[in-house]
Structure 1
Amino acid sequence: MTVKTLERQEVVDFLYEEALLLDEWKLMEWAELFTDDATYKVPPLGEPDADARTSLFYIHDDRTRIQDRAERLLKKEAHVEYPHSTTVRNYHNIMLKDLDSDIIKAACNFTLHRTKREVVDTFIGRHTYDLVQQDGELRIKNKKAVLKLDSLRPHGKISLIL
């Protein structure tokens, strides 16, 4: 398969589009950004390199679970997110490597502000991505969100997708 060398801005725009889809609760469209063999991980606080075989991850999804999570969160029966939280995601300090290879490495810091029932939560952390070109489009092969928090707010919820 021939891989087109992408410009930096094309990849940055893709990451911003991902953030926008999540903020607009277009979770089915977001799930479609992932390849069939994708993974999405949110490791435990303070353990960014944890092994899923020995540690409990907040999220450790394959493509099927990504789709299931998106579908579930959009249902009225998902009481924790109905009505939906209002979120604003900011991606910053975006670093890219291997723009001309089969797998593009991307990393960025993120700030996620969430408000629900007059409570505002802020999550900060770092995303890392393995991105690939598939049928002429960028897709996420692997995504990891490392939360840079000391702890989660008591009774805080991370039901939203980080």
Structure 2
Amino acid sequence: MTTTTPRSAAVTRAQVEDFLFHEAALLDDWRLEEWVELFTLDCTYEVPATDTPEADPATSWSLIHDRRTMLEQRIIRLKKPEAHAEYPHSQTSRIVGNVRILHRTGESLSVSASFLVSRVKAGRFDQYAGRYSYELVPEASGLKIRRKKAVLTHDRLDPQGKISFVL
């Protein structure tokens, strides 16, 4: 029996929303090993600098610009007791909304969504707001993330603001 990969035309906005809500829950529950499995092997995860969100990450500075291997290494580091910024880890609560499918090709979907991440750590409360852009790929096992970009709407990070957790 042959399985076929679903085409992007068959994916609904509700399915995309459910996928993004699931991703947010994995991050809030600190289930990072499961979270990284949502990504393709050729993925890119980016949080650009707040002052140049549309700059090319190959020629400019980014807060985070990881391929799959670096993303896996980031997770390993964040879960170690030596990672003082995240040990014990932050408590986060994510709200994802305004999910839109912007474009479809035969093999992928371009998706945007708004986010608000609230973070509590060591008595400090921070909020991070912004916009996600995704390239999602439908596979037989479900949707996968080929590209995720989290653009913060902040014009700067507070002096003690940290993004050691994953947006």
**Alignment TM class, shorter chain as reference:** over 0.9
Identify the residue that residue 137 of structure 1 maps to in structure 2.
142
Q: CA deviation at 1:98?
A: 4.2
TM-score by length of 2: 0.92
Do the aligned partners of 1:6 and 1:99 also contact (CA within 8 Å) in 2? no
Spell out structure 1 runs of 4+ moving beyond 2 A. Answer: 1-4, 97-101
Do the aligned partners of 1:3 and 1:101 also contact (CA within 8 Å) in 2? no
Identify the residue that residue 86 of structure 2 maps to in structure 1.
81
For residues 8-53 of structure 1, give each alpha carbon's deviation from its aligned partner in whole angstroms, at most 9, with x where no partner exists.
2111100000000000000010001000000001110121211123
Equivalent residue of 1:58, what SS? strand
Distance (whole Å) between structure 1 residues aligned to residue 5 and residue 96 of structure 2: 29
Q: CA deviation at 1:7?
A: 2.2
Correspondence for 2:28 among 23, 42, 65: 23
Give me the identity figure in percent: 45
Task: Give the counterpart letter for 1:103 in structure 2.
Answer: S
Q: CA deviation at 1:118?
A: 0.9
Correspondence for 1:3 among 3, 6, 14: 6
Distance (whole Å) between structure 2 residues aligned to residue 36 and residue 67 of structure 1: 11
**Aligned residues between the structures:** 162
Distance (whole Å) between structure 2 residues aligned to residue 100 and residue 158 of structure 1: 33
Q: What CA RMSD, in Å, does the superposition of the two structures yield over aligned residues? A: 1.4
Structure 2: gaps spanning 5 or more residues? none
TM-score by length of 1: 0.94
Task: Give the counterpart letter for 1:120 in structure 2.
Answer: F
Structure 1: gaps spanning 5 or more residues? none
Do the aligned partners of 1:90 and 1:112 also contact (CA within 8 Å) in 2? yes
Superposed counterparts of 1:114-133, under 5 Å? 114-133=119-138
Task: Give the counterpart letter for 1:3 in structure 2.
Answer: P
Task: Give the counterpart letter for 1:59 in structure 2.
Answer: I
